[in-house]
Amino acid sequence: MSTVTDILARIDAKIYSIIDDPDSIADYKLGQKSVSRSQILQRLTTLRETYQKLAESEPYEDIRHIASDYGDFGEDLSELIGDQT
C-alpha cells in the first residue's frame, strides 16, 4: 500500500507531465462526442490538495539512526540522528 507521500509524488509527477505537454489535455469534439481532457488538471489539483491535508495531519518523524549510549555515571547520551528536535 502506498503512503500519502508516495501518492503525492505520483500526483506531482502527473501534473508536471501535463505542464510539460499542455497539448495532451486539449478539449475536442468529434461529431456528437466530446472529450474534456482539460478537467484532468483541475481534478489532479483537487486531489493533491486533499492528500496534502492528509499528509499534514499525519504524525511523522524522520529518524534514520538511533545511537544509544550511556555515560560513566549512567546518564543517557542517546541521539536520534535525523530528527529535527
Contact at 8 Å (CB) between 15 and 49? no
- Which of 5-14, 16-25, 62-71 comes out lowest in average pLDDT? 62-71
Q: What is the pLDDT of residue 84?
A: 54
Q: What is the pLDDT of residue 55?
A: 86
Q: Provide the residue type at 11 as one letter.
A: I
In this prediction, residue 24 has a pLDDT band, given cuts at 50, 70 and 90, of confident
Q: What would the grid cell of residue 7 be?
A: 501518492
Query: When comparing pLDDT for 22 and 16, which is higher?
Result: 16
**H or E element: which one contains 7?**
helix 4-20
Instruction: Locate the domains of the chain by residue range.
Output: 4-81
Q: What is the pTM of this model?
A: 0.60
pLDDT in tens, 56-83: 887 766 556 566 777 788 777 766 555 5
Contact at 8 Å (CB) between 40 and 32? no
